[in-house]
């Protein structure tokens, strides 16, 4: 293999970092381009409230967690799965733990140390970082090289390019996503972006919001026409956020079980046990150990004539009705669906129409729920794309697990 080979990785999210890791560890010169001043913005945002990096779903069942072709996902996870990813995280000095939700978290719950250690690891290889570089276009040259055009920057030429440009979620309102055009202009199939893993609007009473905005509804069970899911929800000024609403949210009537671990009869027995002459809401407060948000919901969002009826309050506890209105937009979404259509890519994630050009991560048209599945898919695709570049450049073939051992 030629020693003067050069590869560009566009982006600094988890898929980009993994692709850069794999390629640079093979001794190939890698240039990493980021449009902002610092790397991994979305990963750092995602980790601000507890970074979950994967889920303990058995590897054989992982493909069922994602939209799109099962064959596509089997190919991805057969080469780099959740066990490989955890092993890699540990190899760069980051400890993890599994929560009760079956999600794996980094030990300090933040993404900062993971990004810093990973960046340092890549810098130990033959890699160079370029910040404030907004890619505008790419062109295939007769020499089989790829020319990259940046905004207000010189043209650069590479032997292969990996695009990891992210989706449309969490983008500031004033920043227009311009990269889809350079693929559409080359007749590469593209599915418009839509919001995914996003909350729903609910018309809360002002008194309830004053007391409960920003507070969690812990360990509830959400029922909608789409299905049932247990977990935590967050009260926001516009409605509800959280995994149950991301997975099962649908416009219309929904119900929340505020105490799923107790039956109707068990709740009635607990509330009737008190001999004091207390109102139903005071009995609930003393006996059921609800969160402040759940108590506020019962008190402020229940019709006044029901607050004194123990039977009706019990029913509300187990089946609290809410109306889910409009789904949140892309600016509020944790992730987005849509992007480059998967059939445009080879099994190594190279674009069929553009030899030497690879794509990975949220910029591809796939979708999944939160809980570690998003980042798992991104790093797995980054691994596949990196491995695909090595194959394209005639690098020695290395089995995935052996590669991980060499990276340590």
Q: Where are the alpha helices (DSSP H) in 232-367?
A: 243-248, 264-272, 280-287, 292-300, 310-318
pLDDT of residue 266: 95
Q: Over the stretch 73-91, which tens digit does the pLDDT of each residue have?
A: 999 999 999 999 999 999 9
Q: CA angle 274-216-226, nearest 5°?
A: 100
Report how far residue 384's alpha carbon sits from residue 401's, in angstroms, rounded to the nearest whole number.
13
pLDDT of residue 401: 39
Low-confidence ranges of the chain (pLDDT < 50): 395-408
pLDDT of residue 49: 67
pLDDT of residue 186: 97
pLDDT of residue 1: 65
The SS3 assignment for 28 reads coil
> Which letter does DSSP use for residue 251 in this model?
S
pLDDT of residue 275: 79
pLDDT of residue 174: 75
pLDDT of residue 3: 67
pLDDT of residue 402: 40
* Encoded tokens for 122: 């890549």
Q: What is the residue-wise DSSP string for 361-408?
A: GGGBS----SSSHHHHHHHHHHHHHHHHHHHHTTPPP--HHHHHHHH-
Beta bridge partners of 335: 196
Sign of the alpha-carbon torsion through 263, 264, 265, 269: positive
pLDDT of residue 28: 96
Q: In order of start, what are the domains of the chain with their CATH numbers?
A: 6-196+334-407 (3.50.50.60), 200-324 (no CATH)
Report how far residue 346's alpha carbon sits from residue 344's, in angstroms, rounded to the nearest whole number.
7
Q: Over the stretch 280-304, which tens digit does the pLDDT of each residue have?
A: 999 999 999 999 999 999 999 999 9
Q: Over the stretch 386-405, which tens digit does the pLDDT of each residue have?
A: 999 999 998 444 443 343 44
């Amino acid at each position: 293999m030629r020693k003067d080979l050069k590869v560009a990785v566009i982006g600094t999210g988890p898929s980009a970092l993994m692709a850069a890791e794999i390629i640079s560890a093979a001794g190939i010169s890698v240039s990493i381009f980021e449009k902002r001043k610092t790397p991994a913005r979305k990963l750092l945002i995602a980790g601000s409230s507890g970074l979950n990096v994967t889920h303990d779903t058995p590897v054989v069942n992982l493909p069922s967690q994602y939209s799109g072709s099962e064959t596509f996902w089997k190919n991805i996870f057969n080469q780099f799965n959740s066990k490989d990813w955890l092993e890699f995280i540990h190899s760069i000095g980051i400890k993890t733990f599994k929560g009760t939700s079956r999600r794996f978290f980094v030990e300090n719950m933040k993404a900062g140390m993971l990004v810093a250690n990973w960046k340092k690891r890549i810098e130990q290889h033959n890699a160079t970082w370029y910040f404030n570089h907004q890619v505008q276009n790419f062109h295939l040259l007769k020499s089989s090289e790829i020319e990259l055009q940046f905004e207000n920057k010189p043209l650069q030429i590479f032997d292969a390019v990996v695009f990891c440009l992210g989706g449309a979620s969490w983008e500031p309102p004033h920043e227009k996503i311009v990269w889809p055009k350079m693929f559409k202009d080359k007749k590469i199939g593209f599915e418009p972006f839509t919001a995914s893993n996003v909350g729903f609007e609910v018309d809360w009473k002002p008194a309830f919001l004053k007391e409960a905005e920003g507070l969690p509804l812990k360990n509830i069970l959400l029922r909608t026409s789409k299905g049932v899911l247990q977990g935590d929800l967050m009260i926001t000024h516009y409605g509800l956020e959280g995994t149950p609403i991301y997975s099962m949210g649908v416009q219309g009537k929904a119900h929340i079980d505020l105490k799923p671990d107790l039956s109707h009869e068990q709740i009635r027995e607990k509330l009737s046990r008190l001999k004091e002459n207390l109102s139903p809401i005071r009995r609930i407060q003393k006996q059921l150990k609800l969160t402040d948000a759940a108590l506020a919901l019962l008190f402020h969002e229940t019709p006044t004539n029901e607050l004194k009826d123990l039977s009706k309050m019990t029913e509300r506890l187990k089946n609290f009705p809410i109306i889910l209105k409009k789904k949140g937009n892309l600016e509020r979404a944790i992730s987005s669906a849509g992007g480059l259509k998967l059939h445009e890519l080879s099994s190594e994630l190279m674009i069929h129409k553009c030899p030497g050009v690879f794509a990975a991560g949220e910029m591809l048209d796939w979708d999944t729920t939160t809980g570690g599945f998003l980042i798992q898919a991104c790093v797995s695709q980054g691994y596949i794309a990196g491995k695909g570049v090595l194959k394209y450049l005639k690098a020695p073939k290395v089995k995935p697990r052996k590669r991980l051992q060499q990276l340590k």
